[in-house]
Structure 1
Amino acid sequence: MSGLVVGYGSPDPLKIEEMFKKINYRGPYVSGISTNKQVMLAQNYLKADCPMANPDRDKVPVTSSGNGVWQICYDGQMGNQKELAKAHGLSNGPFQEERLVLHLHQEHGSDMCEYLDDAIFAFVISNGDEIFAARDLLGIKTLFYGRRDNTLYLATELKSLAAVTDDVNEFPPGHYMDGSGNLTRFAELPKTPPEHLHSDLNQMVEDIRDIIQRSLQSRVDFTVETGGLLSGGMDSSVINYLASQLYKEKFGNDAQLKTFAVGVGESEDIETARIMAKQIDSDHHELIVDLDQILAVLPEVIYFLESFDPSLVRGSVSNYLISKYARERGIDLLLSGEGGDEIFCGYIYLKDFPAEELFARQMECVGFLHNNASLRLDRMNHCNSVRVVAPLISGELFRYTLAIPAEYKQKPVGNEKVEKWILRKALQP
């Protein structure tokens, strides 16, 4: 999860450098700028983005070894990377995901996006004469574009574009852009639920548990200093519980995953996170803050978040503070439980809707994810040079849960409904 800046047409090198400096915190480990004909590409990475890379040897943007010279600026993460690499004969090594995306583009052109159905991504590919850019269906990875002086600019963050043009647009999720600057939709959220896979509740529960474990294992290997964001809520507890098990399997039963919680005074969240940390035997760290500390960081939070939305800003402050706290203690990668409320209908207000309307309301939540929780998650961690992984935001899990009946997501129990009921069921001892 890195940063990119691209200019296509007649890009000004000084402008590209100015844009790139705006997001240097997204990748102080490996970075580079490349010029090829009418295209300039700038890319940076965190250490956790490319732990196998050698900054003195491996140059970026990554270049293809196939027909012609194609380069890629990439910000993303694949859940099915190993399977795709094996199927297409790609060797292991640094920047495998980037090499895989380049290969898929050469093999399939714009149809390549069909193969990235278990990935979050925003990327730009170019051979110097043309470009191809795309953003994942849920818009988990950010991308913006704008024009000035017959040049198309693309960047991970708004602040980069604002440095060179007033023409700033969000690159829409589920779309790709060709060299003419035309946007084409390659995928969209479903309007109606798919047919149920089966009616066996026990099988659903087992499948959900397996998919979440598989998602975690395919995205995290603990090769860099890894910790978990533990709010005390259900989703973060699930992820940290499973991650702690994997951590002990790899390093021994006495090994403890580092977990991090933030709160004001002895808040309920702090207490709940403390109980969960003890339960999973983690090396738990707490950051207790007061109102003055919160107010002091508001300007920074808004700058990095690029939003004035009150609820989004409010939720981002704690994420910013705990990410900074974890980074100061050597953490390169943080695990998050984000996505659970959207995938499993965890928002309390969804209880107000009848079962037949729940799917449509859930898709509204999912459609807003890129401008809400995932934006907060991306910006508040990357501004502290920390990679963040949210295993519940998985293409495989998303597609599977679409077919789960509404009554298993919001389970009627007496006169109430239990939110995320099937997730609770899946993680019961």
Structure 2
Amino acid sequence: MCGIFAVHGINAPSADRTRFIACSKMQRHRGPDWSGCYVGKRSVLVHERLAIVGVDTGAQPLVSEDKKLILAVNGEIYNHVELRATCPDYKFKTHSDCEVILPLYKKHDKALCGLLDGMFSFVLLDESVEPPRIIAARDPIGITTLYQGWSSKRPGAVYFASELKCLVEECDKIISFPPGHVYDSKDDSTTRYYNPPWLNEDADDAAIPTKKADLKLLRESLEAAVRKRLMSEVPYGVLLSGGLDSSLIASIAARETEKVAHAQYEARERRQQEIQNESPTPPGAVIVSEDTTIASWPQLHSFSIGLENSPDLLAARKAAHYLGTIHHEYVFTVQEGLDAIPEVIYHLETYDVTTVRASTPMYLLSRKIKAMGVKMVLSGEGSDEIFGGYLYFHAAPDPKSFHQECVRRVKNLHTSDCLRANKSTMAWGLEARVPFLDKAFLDVAMNIDPKEKMFSKGDKQEVDADGCPKMEKYIIRKAFDVPEGEKKEQFSDGVGYSWIDGIKDYAESVVSDELLAKAHERWPKDTPDTKEGYYIRDVFEGLFKSEAAAETAVR
């Protein structure tokens, strides 16, 4: 992933080039590898690059051969090879997975968004028309972040950025750009391009899926989702908590990594034999292959974090041993977590208590991972929302309610787990990829009859024909023959129960009863009702003082 910043609809953009570069620089942690800037007739596009694919040739903004189309992208397009094949007349200038958006725009206009398989936010400027046109889009679920803003000082101008902090000094109105939508300056419209049958705007009228669970298809779809996310020219790893979701992802990734490493080894052996046959090599000489990709890390590395002897550390250690990954675990203290909270809020750009709690350990872990030279990790976000894995789902009164709650949770992932996974990692220039939110996998999993996802607890818990208990996420367990696991933990609980207690205790020491009682006077909207909430909101306001910034965090 990367960081993008764009302004469209301004006069004399060259005069503000330096200012807008400074705005984008505030998110340079997202793209520490290189920066690029394009100044058009009425627009400025700035890009902060984290190089994962097309490392040597993918600098942005990308410019078409006729210099009429300019593109800045944050994300990865996993089906770019297949899409390139549909554009045989276009002369590609880079190996970047994102460049394919340019010829797709020429062929399909903004309908191109529906063809993309990946996680992305992009801004595309078309200077072949008058007035110049800009389109901006965000991936279907909102795995990547994108904000849109307007300034009363620049009527008619529109701003976009990967992070809120780039816009707070420029804009007095800011929104979180909606996932699965595309903006078009031609008619100043924002429309939904991603609208599968299960994702209905009015959940009460939504048709409830009736398809029986195809466990083989479910398994193969997730395997394919992991496989495509191993597209990388740099070392990668997997976040491993030891729970079902991350363990499944790690298991598939370990197997696929081994396949790739074996294939690379065989290719090197063949190449070595060819060279020896062409020109005999003295005994003992070493022939170095020119292959890159993951050859330096032929075995999957896994990473976990927690307080001393926390559930996540113990479970991850056990899972890593079983999977055969090279495992790295990091222990943090409650005080280290508390010290990091202001930084975490600065990068998260939200005051949601649950998100801050869960993001702090991930933020600390991401720094350790990046220090090892890793630039991409796989993570297990989305499974609980898709399969109704949270324990409260057992109380769903009927299949319709169960499905509607799953849809609601998936639609809101961009405000919680996706936001956490994206910004906690990108704070250190580390990219997180989330296979459970693969578009094709969602089409399979979200169209399963919710009756097959429902579960009960205690004496009411059913068992299947094989005697396996129908517990939470039963069908994905069954698809991979995963035995019954331990009690489900939220990420912030699993790293150690004293972490949450530590935040609460600290908030108790810095927020008086009197301050909390008057919280509604200070924040009439979205008023915090706990001292922990008050403390986090206070830190957020100190970092982002504008009312426009606070509005983007409102649930």
TM-score w.r.t. the length of structure 2 is: 0.72
**Equivalent in the alignment of 1:425:** 478
In the alignment, is the contact (CA less than 8 A) between 2:58 and 2:95 conserved in 1?
no
Which residue type is aligned with residue 319 of structure 1?
M
Which residue of 145, 157, 168 maps to 2:148? Answer: 145
**Equivalent in the alignment of 2:373:** 330
Which residue of 400, 411, 415 maps to 1:356? Answer: 400
Judging changes above 3 Å, is the alpha-carbon distance between structure 1 residues 343 and 93 closer, same or farther for their aligned structure 2 residues? farther
Instruction: Give me the whole-angstrom Cα distance separating, in 2, the residues matched to 1:160 and 1:59.
Output: 21
**Secondary structure of 1:104 counterpart:** helix
Most deviating of 22-31 and 71-80? 71-80
**Equivalent in the alignment of 2:315:** 272
Which residue type is aligned with residue 235 of structure 2?
E
**Equivalent in the alignment of 1:80:** 79
Judging changes above 3 Å, is the alpha-carbon distance between structure 1 residues 16 and 258 closer, same or farther for their aligned structure 2 residues? same
Which residue of 319, 340, 361 maps to 1:297? Answer: 340
**Equivalent in the alignment of 1:408:** 452
Instruction: Give me the whole-angstrom Cα distance separating, in 2, the residues matched to 1:141 and 1:350.
Output: 27
**Secondary structure of 2:100 counterpart:** helix
In the alignment, is the contact (CA less than 8 A) between 1:140 and 1:375 conserved in 2?
yes
Which residue type is aligned with residue 98 of structure 1?
C
**Equivalent in the alignment of 1:39:** 43
In the alignment, is the contact (CA less than 8 A) between 1:33 and 1:40 conserved in 2?
yes
Most deviating of 397-406 and 273-282? 397-406
Instruction: Give me the whole-angstrom Cα distance separating, in 1, the residues matched to 2:58 and 2:233.
Output: 18
TM superposition shift of 1:402 = 1.8
Judging changes above 3 Å, is the alpha-carbon distance between structure 1 residues 292 and 412 closer, same or farther for their aligned structure 2 residues? closer
In the alignment, is the contact (CA less than 8 A) between 1:124 and 1:131 conserved in 2?
yes
Most deviating of 388-397 and 167-176? 167-176
**Equivalent in the alignment of 2:161:** 155
Greater strand share, 1 or 2?
1
Superposition pairs for residues 238-249 of structure 1, below 5 Å?
Answer: 238-249=248-259
Provide the alpha-carbon RMSD of the alignment: 2.2
Instruction: Give me the whole-angstrom Cα distance separating, in 2, the residues matched to 1:93 and 1:341.
Output: 41
In the alignment, is the contact (CA less than 8 A) between 1:5 and 1:42 conserved in 2?
yes
Instruction: Give me the whole-angstrom Cα distance separating, in 2, the residues matched to 1:314 and 1:99.
Output: 37
Which residue of 401, 421, 428 maps to 1:377? Answer: 421
Which residue type is aligned with residue 260 of structure 1?
F
In the alignment, is the contact (CA less than 8 A) between 2:394 and 2:456 conserved in 1?
no
TM superposition shift of 1:106 = 1.3
**Secondary structure of 1:98 counterpart:** coil
Long gaps (5+) in structure 1: none
In the alignment, is the contact (CA less than 8 A) between 1:222 and 1:247 conserved in 2?
no
Instruction: Give me the whole-angstrom Cα distance separating, in 1, the residues matched to 2:82 and 2:391.
Output: 37
Instruction: Give me the whole-angstrom Cα distance separating, in 1, the residues matched to 2:59 and 2:220.
Output: 37
TM superposition shift of 1:193 = 4.5
**Secondary structure of 1:125 counterpart:** strand
**Secondary structure of 1:97 counterpart:** coil
**Equivalent in the alignment of 1:166:** 172
TM-score w.r.t. the length of structure 1 is: 0.92
In the alignment, is the contact (CA less than 8 A) between 2:78 and 2:97 conserved in 1?
no
TM superposition shift of 1:112 = 1.9
Instruction: Give me the whole-angstrom Cα distance separating, in 1, the residues matched to 2:363 and 2:439.
Output: 27
Long gaps (5+) in structure 2: 266-296, 462-469, 483-555
TM superposition shift of 1:391 = 1.1
TM superposition shift of 1:45 = 1.6
Which residue of 208, 220, 224 maps to 1:214? Answer: 224
Superposition pairs for residues 184-199 of structure 1, below 5 Å?
Answer: 184-188=191-195, 189-190=199-200, 191=203, 192-193=206-207, 195-197=209-211, 199=212
- Answer yes or no: is 1:133 the counterpart of 2:140: no
**Equivalent in the alignment of 2:505:** none
Which residue type is aligned with residue 244 of structure 1?
A
Most deviating of 414-423 and 211-220? 414-423
**Equivalent in the alignment of 2:63:** 63
Most deviating of 29-38 and 371-380? 29-38
**Secondary structure of 2:242 counterpart:** coil
Judging changes above 3 Å, is the alpha-carbon distance between structure 1 residues 317 and 83 closer, same or farther for their aligned structure 2 residues? same
TM superposition shift of 1:181 = 3.0
Instruction: Give me the whole-angstrom Cα distance separating, in 2, the residues matched to 1:423 and 1:264.
Output: 29
Which residue type is aligned with residue 43 of structure 2?
V
Which has the higher Rg, Structure 1 or Structure 2?
2
**Equivalent in the alignment of 1:175:** 181
TM superposition shift of 1:412 = 4.8
Cα deviation 1:271-311 (Å, max 9, x = unaligned)? 11000000011111111111111111111100000011111
**Equivalent in the alignment of 2:20:** 16
TM superposition shift of 1:165 = 2.2
Cα deviation 1:98-137 (Å, max 9, x = unaligned)? 2221222111112222213x33221110024110111223
**Secondary structure of 1:410 counterpart:** coil
Percent pairwise identity? 30
Which residue type is aligned with residue 402 of structure 1?
M
In the alignment, is the contact (CA less than 8 A) between 1:193 and 1:359 conserved in 2?
no
Instruction: Give me the whole-angstrom Cα distance separating, in 1, the residues matched to 2:259 and 2:180.
Output: 37
Instruction: Give me the whole-angstrom Cα distance separating, in 1, the residues matched to 2:140 and 2:245.
Output: 22
Instruction: Give me the whole-angstrom Cα distance separating, in 2, the residues matched to 1:127 and 1:80.
Output: 24
TM superposition shift of 1:328 = 1.1
Cα deviation 1:34-87 (Å, max 9, x = unaligned)? 111111101122122x3x232xx6542011236x61011111223433322223
TM superposition shift of 1:333 = 0.9
Which residue type is aligned with residue 425 of structure 2?
N
Which residue type is aligned with residue 479 of structure 2?
A
TM superposition shift of 1:212 = 1.1
TM superposition shift of 1:95 = 4.8
Instruction: Give me the whole-angstrom Cα distance separating, in 2, the residues matched to 1:338 and 1:43.
Output: 27
**Secondary structure of 1:337 counterpart:** coil
TM superposition shift of 1:147 = 1.9
Q: What is the total number of aligned residue pairs between the two structures?
A: 419
Instruction: Give me the whole-angstrom Cα distance separating, in 2, the residues matched to 1:114 and 1:329.
Output: 36
In the alignment, is the contact (CA less than 8 A) between 2:92 and 2:99 conserved in 1?
no
Which residue type is aligned with residue 135 of structure 1?
R
Judging changes above 3 Å, is the alpha-carbon distance between structure 1 residues 372 and 106 closer, same or farther for their aligned structure 2 residues? same
